[in-house]
A = this chain, B = another copy of it.
Amino acid sequence: MPLQTSQAQNVFQQTYDYVRETALLESTLALLEWDERTGLPAHAGENRAEQVTFLSGIVHQRKTSAKFGHWLDELVQSELAMQPNSQVGASIRGMKRDFDKNIQLPESLVKRIAHAVTVGQQIWSEAKPKNDFAAFLPHLDVIVQLRREEASILSNGSSCRYDSLLDQYEEDAKTDEVAVVFADLRERLVPLVQELTQSRSRPDGKSIVGVFDLTKQKEFSRWVAKQIGFQFERGRLDETDHPFCTTLGPNDHRILTRYYDDSFSSGLYGTLHEAGHGMYEQGLPPEWFGLPAGCAASLGVHESQSRLWENMIGRSKEFWQWCLPHAKTWFPQLNAVSVDSIYADLNRVEASLIRIEADEATYNLHILLRFELERELIDGDLQCVDLPTAWSDRYESYLGIRPKNDSDGVMQDVHWAAGLIGYFPTYTLGNIFAAQLLNAACDDLGELPSMIAKGEFQPLLQWLRTKVHQHGRCLKPTELIARATGSPVSSQPFIDYLSEKLIPLYR
């Protein structure tokens, strides 16, 4: 018999308190990882892995406890769960969905994965600068094997194991559907990239070449992040070897980038990308922290925020109309540079090896090949030992270039070392969502380009807060985007955005 509403409210309050406590432990786990990636002493790795493993076990016990399951069973049958547009209802449905997945996973597997990915990131971090794939391989093998095992359990015998991994990042996304999107994109992007890279009037990239003081880069990146709206009283910007963003509490959002002294754009765009993630997290309702109503809708929606700020704003001409005079105060070597030339150089399209440095057009080809490779890894059609060759062959086939070493090839990203298999497609989904959001924001705000040109970022941020952030995970990702933009999800706006932006640059 369903609970009366008042009883259900009591059960919900218990559940809320319980989940908030679990979130305290999960955010402590996030600190353990943040600290691991910001200067863990060389010999401290094994103990860190043990800490993460043990705490992950406690978190999994809490997430799968009989008590919690019982409360959820009661709640999903109550009136509270039926309310279609309430944060309570959405949280109940989301928690139940998560519980039903978690309960299938044995604690031993969860702990083995936690251990493997903690050690995996440590080994990756040492092996990458030494270009030592052989040292990384056995750890990657274990990670892929464990994720295969997890996928088998979660897919319940269905034919597509990769679906269950994808679903962890993008609720209800299906591998086959994503594959169709990628095939379509590939068909349209390859000719566009060819047209652009073969053009005689390509930007030469010279305006952004030079030596850029690292201390000044840090100050500049911090300043820009603050200007676009990242709240430093609720966050930090630090350095790491592979940029990321993590949340340690409802008012504690950490973004991390890396700086090179021969380029100011790597550090800056790493910052803009992660600040986009961070501002999404800062826009989620804090009182729902740890529950679905206080979580991001999906990784695809997350990447729509990071890619929007990084590229659609940060690589726009208007952004540089505003930013260049400021940049010159930090970097006098830019004094002779014009807005037109830096805009062109920061949007130069070329086949390149490193995903996170790639231009917006080729970027999705980098994602496509990772999507293909990781599906094959999970299906067992590709073994880790063969990855470097498969990687290089695919770069040659899609982009016409071949990495000279594994550091610039298969080891460039931290994702697989961190067990993030099924994550990459969300970057391209993010690009697609972001183009739709940008169009809708332009329609709603009218003067968005001129606002950006004046450094007025608050109207856009507030629009994103209202249309995206505040909804947490109350709507499915595609529904959230459709409501925010008034149109169903489609890759057409993204293709149009790329063509309209890039083709004129090459005339």
* Interchain CA distance A248-B51 in the complex, whole Å: 10
| Bitwise interface map of A from 13 to 53 toward B, beta carbon under 8 Å scored 1, else 0 | 00000000100110110011001000111111011101100
Binds B, one of A121-129, A165-173, A228-236, A422-430: A228-236
Name A37-81 residues within 8 Å CB distance of B: 39-44, 46-48, 50-51, 54-55, 58
Within the complex, the shortest CB–CB distance from A89 to chain B, in Å, comes to 26
Given the known interface contacts A54-B21, A58-B58, the answer about A27 and B47 at a Cβ–Cβ threshold of 8 Å is: yes
Cβ of A250 under 8 Å from chain B: yes
Cβ of A252 under 8 Å from chain B: yes
When C-beta atoms are compared, the residue in chain B nearest to A44 turns out to be B252
* Interchain CA distance A250-B44 in the complex, whole Å: 8
* Interchain CA distance A430-B307 in the complex, whole Å: 56
User: Is the CB–CB distance between A32 and B28 below 8 Å?
Assistant: yes
Within the complex, the shortest CB–CB distance from A348 to chain B, in Å, comes to 35
Cβ of A249 under 8 Å from chain B: yes
Q: Which residues of B contact A234 (CB under 8 A)?
A: 41-44
| Bitwise interface map of A from 243 to 284 toward B, beta carbon under 8 Å scored 1, else 0 | 000001111110000000000000000000000000000000
User: Is the CB–CB distance between A27 and B41 below 8 Å?
Assistant: no
Copies of this chain assembled into the complex: 2
Return the contact of A248 from the options B44, B58, B249 (Cβ within 8 A): B44
When C-beta atoms are compared, the residue in chain B nearest to A48 turns out to be B249
The number of chain A residues touching the other chain, given as a range, is 20 to 34
Return the contact of A55 from the options B24, B236, B248 (Cβ within 8 A): B24
* Interchain CA distance A54-B29 in the complex, whole Å: 13
Instruction: Give the interface SS of chain A, mostly helix, strand, loop or mixed.
Output: helix
Given the known interface contacts A28-B32, A42-B233, A232-B41, the answer about A251 and B47 at a Cβ–Cβ threshold of 8 Å is: yes
Return the contact of A41 from the options B44, B48, B236 (Cβ within 8 A): B236
* Interchain CA distance A442-B385 in the complex, whole Å: 58
* Interchain CA distance A179-B23 in the complex, whole Å: 47
User: Is the CB–CB distance between B51 and A28 below 8 Å?
Assistant: yes
* Interchain CA distance A251-B40 in the complex, whole Å: 10
User: Is the CB–CB distance between A55 and B252 below 8 Å?
Assistant: no
Name A479-494 residues within 8 Å CB distance of B: none
When C-beta atoms are compared, the residue in chain B nearest to A50 turns out to be B24
Given the known interface contacts A35-B31, A47-B249, the answer about A55 and B233 at a Cβ–Cβ threshold of 8 Å is: no
When C-beta atoms are compared, the residue in chain B nearest to A248 turns out to be B44
Q: Which residues of B contact A251 (CB under 8 A)?
A: 41, 43-44, 46-47
Return the contact of A236 from the options B32, B39, B250 (Cβ within 8 A): B39
Q: Which residues of B contact A249 (CB under 8 A)?
A: 44, 47-48, 51
User: Is the CB–CB distance between B236 and A47 below 8 Å?
Assistant: no
When C-beta atoms are compared, the residue in chain B nearest to A42 turns out to be B233
When C-beta atoms are compared, the residue in chain B nearest to A53 turns out to be B24
Within the complex, the shortest CB–CB distance from A218 to chain B, in Å, comes to 13
Within the complex, the shortest CB–CB distance from A251 to chain B, in Å, comes to 4
* Interchain CA distance A249-B234 in the complex, whole Å: 28
User: Is the CB–CB distance between B235 and A24 below 8 Å?
Assistant: no
Q: Which residues of B contact A232 (CB under 8 A)?
A: 41
Return the contact of A252 from the options B24, B31, B48, B236 (Cβ within 8 A): B48
Within the complex, the shortest CB–CB distance from A62 to chain B, in Å, comes to 11
Given the known interface contacts A44-B252, A235-B41, A251-B44, the answer about A54 and B35 at a Cβ–Cβ threshold of 8 Å is: no
Within the complex, the shortest CB–CB distance from A227 to chain B, in Å, comes to 18
Give the 6 A-B residue pairs with the shortest CB-CB distance, closest first. A47-B249, A44-B252, A43-B251, A42-B233, A24-B54, A24-B51
25 A-B pairs with C-beta separation under 8 A? A21-B54, A24-B51, A24-B54, A24-B55, A25-B54, A28-B28, A28-B32, A31-B31, A31-B35, A35-B35, A39-B236, A40-B252, A41-B232, A41-B233, A41-B251, A42-B233, A43-B233, A43-B234, A43-B252, A47-B251, A47-B252, A48-B249, A48-B252, A51-B249, A58-B58
